[in-house]
Structure 1
Amino acid sequence: MSASRKLAAFRLPPLPTVGELIKLYNLRAEKQLSQNFLLDLKLTDKIVRQAGSLRDAHVCEVGPGPGGLTRSILNAGATDLLVVEKDTRFIPGLKLLSEAAPGKLRIVHGDILTYRMDRGFPSNISKPWEGDPPNLHIIGNLPFSVSTPLIIKWLEDIANRTGPFMHGRTRLTLTFQKEVAERLTASTGSKQRSRLSVMAQYLCTVRNCFTIPGRAFVPKPEVDVGVVHFTPLVQPQIQQPFKLVERVVRNIFQFRRKHCHKGVEKLFPEACRIELTQEMMQKADVDPILRPTELTIPHIRALADAYAHLCSREPSLNTYEYREELGMKHLTRQKNAPMDTLMDRASSAPPSPLQPC
C-alpha cells in the first residue's frame, strides 16, 4: 500500500465540525480554567506536524477540550491516542470521536498534574535512553494556568527518567503564552533569559516552532500563543539532582537585574553568607558581577557543582531556605513590635513633672 493510501486509511469519517460540537453541547470556555478553543484545523494540523511523524505512534494529548487537536492527531496516523481531560463537559464530544476511530482513542477523565502517565502505555514501546526516542509523544494546547507548573513537573520527570520518560526520551509538543515560549527558548544574554530557559535547556533541545495569533482562538486571549517542541537530551548538561539545580537557578534569577552573586548569597544563612558565597563563586570560577541573564549553562553547571560540594560538607545547607529565614525575622519583629513601640514612646515622652529633670 502506498504512503498516501495508508495515510488516507486513517482519515476520520465525516463528523460535526468542532464549532458545531461546541454549539451542540453548549460548550463555553471557562475563564477561570484559562480555556481557549482552537477551531482552525489547518492550525491544529500545523501543531501536530511539529511533533514529527505520528505514523503508528502512541500519543498522549493534554486537555483535548472539544477535540480539534485530537482530530489532527488521529488523521496524522496515530495508532493509540490517550486523551486526559479534566472538564466533564467535553467527554461526550470526545466519545463521539472515539466511536469514529474504533480502538484508537482512549479517554481519561482526570487531572494531568496527578495522572500517572507512565501507566497509560504498554512497556513494549520503551526505548533505551541512549537510543532513539520512543514512538511516544505528548501533545497539548495547554491552559495557561497549568502550562508552567506542568512543564516544570515534566522537566523533573526527564531528569529522574520517571513518568512518561520511563519509556525513554519521549518528545513533547506544547503550546504556551508567547512570553513563556520565548523564555523557554531564550539564549544567553537575551532579555527573555530566565529560570525556565536554563531548566529546560540543560535537559532538552528546545525549539520555538511558530506563533499562533490570539485571534485564532475562541474566546480570543489577550496574548499570542507559541508552539514549543522538546526533545530530552541523552546526557543532561548539568549532572546534579534536579531539586538542587532548581534551587540554584531559582535563587540566582530572583534578582535578574543585579549581579549574580546577589542571588547566590541567598543560598546561605546570614551568619556565613559572605564567606560561603565567595567560596562558591571562586570554586565555580564565575565572575560574580555577571548578570543572571549572562550566565551560560556551563556557568550554571559550575555553580551547581560548587554548591553541591558545599552541601556535602555542610548538610544543613540542603534544608536552608532564605524565604523561611526572612519569614522568621518578620514574625520576630511583629512579636517584639508592641514592646518596641512602648520603649520608643517612653524615650520620646516629655519628663514627668513628678521627677527631677
Structure 2
Amino acid sequence: MNFAKSGVRLPPLPSIGDLLRLYRLRALKRLSQNFLLDSRVCDKIVKVAGPLEGGHVCEVGPGPGSITRSIIRKSPAKLLLVEKDPRFTPTLEMLQEASPFPVQLVQGDIMNFDMADVFDKDHVRPWSDRPPNVHLIGNLPFSVATPLIIRWIYAISERTSAWKYGRVKMTLTFQAEVAERVVSPIMTRSRCRLSVMCQNWCHVEYRFTIPGSVFVPKPDVDVGVVHFVPRLVPIIDLPFKIVEKVVRSLFCYRQKYILKSVGTLFPVALREKLALRCLEEAEVPTTARSFQLTLPEIGRICYAYTSILRDYPKLETYNHRLRSDVTLEDDPLIEREPPESEDDLYDTSSRAL
C-alpha cells in the first residue's frame, strides 16, 4: 500500500464509545479527564499539526485513543504515546497492534517526561533551519495544560527535551479561556503573563474552538486548539528566568500603573528609586499598565532590570512574596514585607498566568 497517497487504513476496530463501555472506563475528575469521541474533530486537530508522513509524533495524554487513530491514519514513521492513567493501556495496545508502523506506549507523567532522546537522531535540525518532522500533539487535561506549556516554553528557551531536535511544533488543546490568553494581543482583557511568555518564544495561532458538547463528560467550557511554532530568536532574548520574573511582577497588579508593579522587583527600601530607574532606562511611562505594553517594551524593562542587577547582584534572588530579606553592602537595612496569601504565591494555574 502506498501510504503517502492513501494514508493508513486501520483494520475494523470497536468505536471509542464501545471501548469505554467494554472496559468500564469513566473520566476521572481528579485527572481533569474529558473524552473526545468525535472522529471528525480528532481529524481536524491532527490536520492543524501539518503533514505527519514519515515523521515522529509524540501524543500527550492519548486516553482511550481517539486522536491516536487520526494520527495513525496520517502515516507517521513512529508514534510515541505518553499516558499517565494505566486504565487506558488495553485500548492503546489494541492500536499498537493494529498500526503498520511502530507505536511506543509509555506509562508516565508528561510533566516529568524528558523527550531529549525519544526521537531518531536523523530528525535533528539546526535551530536556524525549518522545523523538523517531529510533532507534539495533545488534548490536554485542564489541570496540567498551563503548567505544562510553561515548562515546555522553558525547554524551548534552553533548547532541551524535544527542542534538542530543533524548532519542534506543538498542537495543543486548552480550556478556551486559556487558549485566548495564549494568543491575546496588547490592549485586550485577556492579556496576561501567559500571553507574554508564549508569544516571546513562539509564534502562536488559535486555530479553532471545539464545543464542550462533543466531550464526555461535557465540560462547562469550550476548548481551543492552539498551534505553536518556536521562534528563530525570541523577541526578548534574555534567560527565561529573568523574563519570567519581570513579567510576573508586571502582571501582579494588572490594573495598576506599572510603577507599582515594577516596584515589586525590589525591596521596600530601594523600591521607589529602582523602579523609577528601571522605567526611565526602559523609556516606558510610569503610568502605563501591563496589558498595554508591547513585547519590545517589556523587553526594555527586562534589560533595564538586568542593568540594575549588575549594581545590586543580590537582588536577583529577591522575591517580594516570601519572608526573605536582602542585605546589600551599600543598603544594609532592607525592610521586610509580609507575605501575600498562599493563593498569590507563584503557580502555573490558568488564573495565576
Normalised by the size of structure 1, how large is the TM-score? 0.90
Taking only aligned residues, the RMSD between alpha carbons, in angstroms, comes to 1.4
CA distance in 2, matches of 1:319, 1:186: 30
**How many equivalent residue pairs?**
329
The residue correspondences of 1:6-85 to structure 2 (distance < 5 A) are 6-85=4-83
Deviations 1:42-80 (A, max 9, x none): 000000000111111100000000000000011012111
2:262 aligned with 1:264: yes
Evaluate the alpha carbon distance shift between residue 71 and residue 326 of structure 1 in structure 2; reply closer, same or farther with a 3 A threshold.
same
Structure 1 position 326, deviation (Å): 8.0
CA distance in 2, matches of 1:14, 1:28: 24
CA distance in 2, matches of 1:231, 1:116: 19
Aligned match for 1:223, one of 221, 226, 241: 221
Q: Residue 181 of structure 2 aligns to which amino acid in structure 1?
A: R
Query: Which residue pairs with 2:297 in the alignment?
Result: 299
Question: Secondary structure of the equivalent of 1:91?
Answer: helix
Structure 1 position 104, deviation (Å): 2.4
Checking the alignment, whether the CA contact within 8 Å between 2:4 and 2:53 is kept in structure 1 is no
Checking the alignment, whether the CA contact within 8 Å between 1:58 and 1:135 is kept in structure 2 is yes
CA distance in 1, matches of 2:307, 2:338: 31
Query: Which residue pairs with 1:137 in the alignment?
Result: 135
Checking the alignment, whether the CA contact within 8 Å between 1:51 and 1:173 is kept in structure 2 is yes
Evaluate the alpha carbon distance shift between residue 139 and residue 292 of structure 1 in structure 2; reply closer, same or farther with a 3 A threshold.
same
Q: Identify the range of structure 1 (267-276 vs 113-122) with the bigger mean alpha-carbon deviation.
A: 113-122
Query: Which residue pairs with 2:113 in the alignment?
Result: 115
CA distance in 2, matches of 1:107, 1:7: 27
Checking the alignment, whether the CA contact within 8 Å between 1:184 and 1:206 is kept in structure 2 is yes
Checking the alignment, whether the CA contact within 8 Å between 1:7 and 1:77 is kept in structure 2 is no
CA distance in 1, matches of 2:324, 2:308: 22
Query: Which residue pairs with 2:279 in the alignment?
Result: 281
Q: Residue 12 of structure 1 aligns to which amino acid in structure 2?
A: L
CA distance in 1, matches of 2:151, 2:145: 10
Query: Which residue pairs with 2:233 in the alignment?
Result: 235
Q: Identify the range of structure 1 (66-75 vs 114-123) with the bigger mean alpha-carbon deviation.
A: 114-123
Checking the alignment, whether the CA contact within 8 Å between 1:176 and 1:226 is kept in structure 2 is yes
- Structure with greater helix share of residues: 1
After TM superposition, the runs of 4+ consecutive aligned structure 1 residues lying more than 3 A away are 325-331
Structure 1 position 325, deviation (Å): 3.9
Query: Which residue pairs with 1:199 in the alignment?
Result: 197
The residue correspondences of 1:140-219 to structure 2 (distance < 5 A) are 140-219=138-217
The residue correspondences of 1:309-348 to structure 2 (distance < 5 A) are 309-325=307-323, 329-330=337-338
Which consecutive residues of structure 1, in runs of 5 or more, have no partner in the other structure?
A: 332-357
Query: Which residue pairs with 2:350 in the alignment?
Result: none
Q: Residue 313 of structure 2 aligns to which amino acid in structure 1?
A: P
2:98 aligned with 1:100: yes
CA distance in 1, matches of 2:10, 2:216: 24
Structure 1 position 8, deviation (Å): 2.5
Checking the alignment, whether the CA contact within 8 Å between 2:83 and 2:107 is kept in structure 1 is yes
Evaluate the alpha carbon distance shift between residue 325 and residue 273 of structure 1 in structure 2; reply closer, same or farther with a 3 A threshold.
farther
2:125 aligned with 1:127: yes
Deviations 1:254-286 (A, max 9, x none): 111111111100000011110000100000000
Structure 1 position 160, deviation (Å): 0.6
Checking the alignment, whether the CA contact within 8 Å between 1:209 and 1:228 is kept in structure 2 is yes
Q: Percent identity?
A: 49
2:243 aligned with 1:245: yes
Structure 1 position 102, deviation (Å): 4.1
Q: Residue 85 of structure 1 aligns to which amino acid in structure 2?
A: E
Q: Identify the range of structure 1 (101-110 vs 270-279) with the bigger mean alpha-carbon deviation.
A: 101-110
